[in-house]
Structure 1
Amino acid sequence: MEAAFVILLNSDLYNYVRRLQTDICKLSGAKETLKIEPHITLKYAFNVKNIKTVEKYFDEIAKTTRPFKIEINGINLFPTQVFFVDVTKNQALTNFHLKVLRDLKEKFSVKPSEFEGKTF
């Protein structure tokens, strides 16, 4: 089974990103943009043997993590022609991201991909 680790957006940010997705769809005809729920990816899809243990970890980290602010700089484009929301660098978010990657490696032997970690 596959799992991923994302941050779901609050309603204001969600609505803003949804409007951007709708605009992109209207301008480009790329209807696929509307299939993806707005989110911030912390860990791309990875294989898990026991989803229950990963769910338990997700629940625990959600309970113990203090809320932090996320700001957006607009949208950008990956070299693969995929749009993404450009998130303002933020030490709390960076620390959380690195903690998740470290925990997943230690607890579940999940290694970061080449696109994850300190440079992203």
Structure 2
Amino acid sequence: MPGRSEEKLKQYFIALVPPPPVSDDALRLKNYFRDQYNSKASLNSPPHITLHMPFKWKEEKENELVVAFSKFTLGRPSFKVELQDFNAFVPRVIFIDVVKNEALELLNKELHRFCKRELNLFNASYKDQPFHPHMTLAFRDLKKPMFEKAWEEFQKRKFAARFDVESIVLLKHNGKIWEVLKEFLFDPSSLPKDEEANSFELHH
């Protein structure tokens, strides 16, 4: 029947998902935007840094994605990501900013190349915009007047956090929200042994 294969297409995307306590505090900020600025769309996914934009894939071939990303992450070294303060894409998006990071940029570039070559995915970034890693707190349902009020508040606020990137995550849309489908760990032997994995600091 026409349309049957279309019905089996699901949406997926690839991201970094920070561990607690960073994810917990980012989630609290998302809830703050819901309560104070009537923007709740970002709550449809866990706190994350997008590495590959959402794409459609046949659900029955989901295992091909799992095999491919397991191959991509095999033996990859971990690295640290720092989050610092807030930034915006006027007039809709407010986010936690990511400090420029060569390892993250390399991961992003290699992932995009891998997805094109191995999975025939060509929509890696939004409208061919350069990679600007960020952790979204409010976006499409943030009305312009609310954006102005929220940005007036958040451009003055401070935020600092750091976490080890030890994996990438494949997320899947269940029809309502994005859920983590599978985490792909990097090389376990590359993880730091003698220091705390996460540090977090939030200034109001």
Q: Which residue of 2 aligns with 1:16?
A: 25
Greater helix share, structure number: 1
Shift of 1:66: 1.5
Structure 1 residue 115, shift from structure 2 partner: 4.5
Q: Higher relative contact order at CA 8 Å, sep ≥6: structure 1 or structure 2?
A: 2
What's 2:125 paired with? 113
Q: Unmatched 5+ residue regions in structure 1? A: none
| Match runs of 1:9-48 below 5 Å | 9-48=18-57
SS in 2 for 1:69: strand
The alpha-carbon distance between structure 1 residues 16 and 116, as it changes in their structure 2 partners (threshold 3 A), is: farther
Percentage identity across paired residues of the two chains: 23
CA shift, 1:118, in A, is 4.7
Alpha-carbon spacing, 1:32–1:113, altered in 2? closer, same or farther (3 Å): closer
Partner of 2:148: none
RMSD (Å) for aligned C-alpha atoms: 2.2
TM-score (norm 2): 0.52
Bigger radius of gyration: 2
Normalising by structure 1, report the TM-score: 0.83
Shift of 1:80: 5.7
More strand by share: 2
Unaligned runs of 5+ in 2: 1-8, 133-204
Number of positions where the alignment pairs a residue of Structure 1 with one of Structure 2: 120
- Quote the residue 2:78 is aligned against: 67
Change in 2 beyond 3 A, CA 1:12/1:63: farther
Q: 1:43-69: per-residue Cα shift (whole Å, max 9, x none)?
A: 011123432111112223334221111
